[in-house]
Amino acid sequence: MDDDFAADNEVNTTTLLKKPLFEEVNESHQREDAYGGPYGVIFGGMAVPTLIELSCQYQKAADVLLEQVFSQTVEDFTLSNPVLFLYRHSIEILIKSCLPELKPKHNLDELIDLYTDHVMATHGCGVPSWITSRIHELSEVDPGSTTFRYGQCKTNKSDVVTANDGEIHVYLRDVKQVVHALHSAIPDVPTFRTNLQCRTCI
């Protein structure tokens, strides 16, 4: 390695380690578009996303990771937990986005029950059974958003159990397709029966 390059790299690394990661917005953060860099984003203020936008961000993040798997760039099991967590979290936030007030809950069974009650009270219609069945299926494996995050399901602060007594298998392509279908259906249940593509994250 060139001595001058090594010295410059050492200086840059030292500077980076001391530089604040989060700082007040200033003119140096302006950019022409979101593709060409320098790949910095703004949090807070007008940049706060809606819940449904945030849900789509988590979904897209999982999609991007899966593309690395499907293109055989990385082994599937090396990204499985992050992918499943991101998809599950996207669904949790999606359901919350449809409720009249934000609930500090992570349990999918409780959230889908609140959503079902809200749809009936607001629109006078039920939620398709395939939606509730899929949510309950997710909840059975990861009820409180801990299984995919930590690799195990925490029932309370003191007890830790695995998600199942034995091993279970999941096809990642199937998960992606189901999550996309839920994203299309959940926000627009009253119209979903006549318009499958009423809402998508693209």
Specify the pLDDT at position 18.
84
State phi, psi for 85 to the nearest 5 degrees: -65, -45
Specify the pLDDT at position 159.
44
Task: Determine contact, residues 62/176, Cβ cutoff 8 Å.
Answer: yes
Better-scored residue on pLDDT, 58 or 36? 58
**Integer Cα distance of 147 and 151 in angstroms:** 5
Domain residue limits, the chain: 53-192
Task: Determine contact, residues 140/113, Cβ cutoff 8 Å.
Answer: no
CA 199 to chain centre: 17
pLDDT digits (tens, 9 = 90+) for 150-194: 887 655 444 444 445 568 899 999 999 999 999 999 998 866 543
Count of helices and strands (H, E) across the chain: 8, 2
Specify the pLDDT at position 194.
38
pTM of structure: 0.82
Average pLDDT over residues 61-85: 97
Sign of CA dihedral 51, 57, 63, 68: negative
Asked whether residue 139 carries a pLDDT value surpassing 50, the answer given is yes
